[in-house]
Amino acid sequence: MTKTVNNKAWVFVLPVFVMVAFNAIIPLMTVVNFSVQETFGDNVFFWAGVTWFEQVLRSDRFHAALGRQVAFSAIVLAIEIPLGLAIALAMPRKGIGVSICLVLMALPLLIPWNVVGAMWNILALPDIGLLGKAINALGIEYNYTRQPYAAWFTMVLMDVWHWTSLVVLLCYAGLVSIPDAYYQAAKVDGARAWAVFRYIQLPKLRHVLTIAILLRFMDSFMIYTEAVVLTGGGPGNATTFLSIDLVKTALGQFDLGPAAAMSIVYFLIILFLSWLFYTLMMRNVES
Amino acid sequence: MKRWTALVPTFYIVFLLLPIYWLLNMSFKTTNEILGGFSLYPHEFTFANYMTIFNDPTWYMGYVNSLSYVVINTALSVTVALPAAYAFSRYRFLGDKHLFFWLLSNRMAPPAVFALPFFQLYSAVGLFDTPIAVALAHTLFNIPLAVWILEGFMSGVPKELDETAYVDGHSFWSFFLKIFLPTIAAGIGVACFFCFMFSWVELLLAKTLTAVDAKPIAATMTRTASTSGYELGLLAAAGSLTLIPGAVVIYFVRNYIAKGFALGRV
């Protein structure tokens, strides 16, 4: 669509700009402020320059937490995006089945995150939880409070349970909006199911898939509440993601300076990766 | 082939419902029965957990508090996002692309980063422990999302609609409110759904910005851990009740999703 150049459009954007700026810029400045100062309590602050940034960027603990965070996002995206797309393709398009599928599938999305964590915490317990009991009954030793790989398995399974539906809903909405004419043309050409998917459905889904991938990337990279309630970062530090490590530093040890520096580094990483995804996918759309 | 494809959503739904069944199952058990051993269904079926919640204001007010900030947030986010999304979809203006990405970048700010500064900010402006504080704080991630979704829907509406309306003598606001908004009703429904969802499920900021008067239900639930050991039955009942508002909302917007949207351009 060709757009008119009109700087008065700023009037329409102004309320959004003011509200988001109030919530974004003032707190961000507070964090920046903390990140360059040293405090010994009593609201006395000293200039610390980039000390905290150096400390954070060089610490093994930060690297380890960042590594776990990246691994988690990668695993979760690799499972949820194809799975969500497959389920959306297999869903009914007409009749009562549509409503049933949509309402039931959306349920996990609408549960408060700490409830999700608590549900899975109990569900996966080896003695009184359905999942824990079932896995142990299969003869596999499973205890997520002691085995790091079991904790990771539970964490990933919880996230797949929690968020795949978001991908399903977006992809389904995109699929339904493809005009029938495209399918008829494909039929005339004698295209097989794979060709229909590859040359009609996938290109038409590009926009909703961009949104789905970006949302899933951002939220899995920022996962906090569910993970803390499920494992508390354990066993040991096996599931201590960046967000958990950050809150431990900020509130647990009350190291405001390092925590603030870490926050900024964390935010910049998300910003950079999202920008990368966004530009790559926009370039695809334009070409 | 047809029968085989129906199995995929069926398996998926069963997988989704099992943990929810387990939660409901526990909510009808006494805490002693839950901790006493493994059972697939409640042997001593009880409503006691639910009765406790409905009879104790500190419990049921949690739901009222949560719902009030979620509703304020959804209304606020979508209302201010509408004109902004229109501007992004129809006009080119100074800094539009940067502004759009800046808005989205706030969707990417981890709440863990902002918890402490938010506490200081809202204490300073005297809104601490009110539903308004939480509603405003949640606009940080909901306004960008609402703008993003609505912009997609609006770009799908041909510009000829606007031009015809002006030729017919409509003023801008008359066109916007009477013709344009009904045209993108589905987009508004979907945007409301996502705003409601992300505000309802968020806990970290909601908990940070409230103490007693405006405490959300999700925060009230964390106290079962401290009072008398782990009251699992009560926790499960409270958790089960948090499913209801979301289920109601998705029931109302299901048709908008079923009709489909492609989100014109991102």
**Can you give the pLDDT of all 266 residues of chain B as single tens digits?**
456 777 888 899 999 999 999 889 888 888 777 777 777 878 778 888 888 888 888 888 888 999 999 999 999 999 999 999 999 988 888 888 888 888 888 887 777 777 778 888 888 888 888 889 999 999 988 999 899 889 888 888 888 888 888 888 888 889 999 889 998 888 899 899 999 999 998 888 888 888 888 888 877 877 655 444 567 888 888 889 988 988 888 888 888 888 777 665 43
Contact: A267, B86; criterion CB under 8 Å:
no
The rounded distance, in Å, linking the Cα atoms of B52 and B223 is 14
- CATH 1.10.3720.10 location in chain B: 57-259
Interface test with B, best of A1, A13, A19 (most B CBs within 10 A): A13
CB contacts of B254 in chain A (<8 Å) are 98-99, 102-103
Total Cβ atoms within 10 A of residue A156: 15
- Full DSSP string of B232-247: HHHHHHHHHHTHHHHH
Query: Strands A37-39 and A45-47: what pairing?
Result: antiparallel
pLDDT digits (tens, 9 = 90+) for A29-42: 888 877 777 666 55
Per CATH, the number for B57-259 is: 1.10.3720.10
Contact: B137, A23; criterion CB under 8 Å:
yes
Phi, psi dihedral angles at A213 (to 5 degrees)? -65, -45
Residue A49 — left, alpha, or beta (φ > 0 → left; ψ -120 to 50 → alpha)? left
pLDDT at A17 over 70: yes
β-pair partners for A47: A37
DSSP annotation of B211 reads S
B149 residue type, one letter:
I
DSSP annotation of A110 reads G
Query: What is the reported pLDDT for A184?
Result: 87
Greater confidence (A156 vs A204) lies with A156
Contact: A24, B140; criterion CB under 8 Å:
yes
CB contacts of B155 in chain A (<8 Å) are 1
pLDDT digits (tens, 9 = 90+) for A179-231: 888 888 888 888 888 888 888 888 888 878 888 888 898 889 888 888 888 88
Decide if B223 touches A, using CB distance below 8 A: no
pLDDT digits (tens, 9 = 90+) for A71-93: 999 999 999 999 999 999 988 88
Total Cβ atoms within 10 A of residue B40: 10
C-alpha dihedral sign at A226, A232, A234, A237:
positive
A286 pLDDT tier (thresholds 50, 70, 90): low
Greater confidence (A164 vs B1) lies with A164
Query: What is the reported pLDDT for B226?
Result: 44
Query: What is the reported pLDDT for A236?
Result: 80
B168 residue type, one letter:
D
Query: What is the reported pLDDT for B143?
Result: 93
For all residues of chain A together, what is the average pLDDT? 84
Interface test with B, best of A14, A128, A274, A286 (most B CBs within 10 A): A128
β-pair partners for A46: A38
| Residues near A248 by beta carbon (within 8 Å), at least 6 away in sequence | A233, A240
| Residues near B238 by beta carbon (within 8 Å), at least 6 away in sequence | B53, B59, B62, B217, B220, B221, B224
What number is the ipTM of this complex? 0.85
CB contacts of B108 in chain A (<8 Å) are 218, 222, 267, 270-271, 274
Q: Of B109, B262, B266, which has the smallest distance from its Cβ to A24's Cβ? A: B109
Q: Of B16, B76, B235, which has the smallest distance from its Cβ to A161's Cβ? A: B16
Contact: B246, A110; criterion CB under 8 Å:
yes
What is the average pLDDT across A127-133? 83
A258 residue type, one letter:
P
Torsion angle, alpha carbons of A269, A270, A273, A276, to 10: -120
β-pair partners for B253: none
For A106-260, strand residue ranges (E) read none
The rounded distance, in Å, linking the Cα atoms of A239 and A254 is 21
Query: What is the reported pLDDT for B207?
Result: 85
Length of chain A: 287
Q: Of A20, A109, A282, which has the smallest distance from its Cβ to B197's Cβ? A: A109
Query: What is the reported pLDDT for B1?
Result: 46
Per CATH, the number for A58-286 is: 1.10.3720.10
The rounded distance, in Å, linking the Cα atoms of A69 and A241 is 5
Decide if B248 touches A, using CB distance below 8 A: no
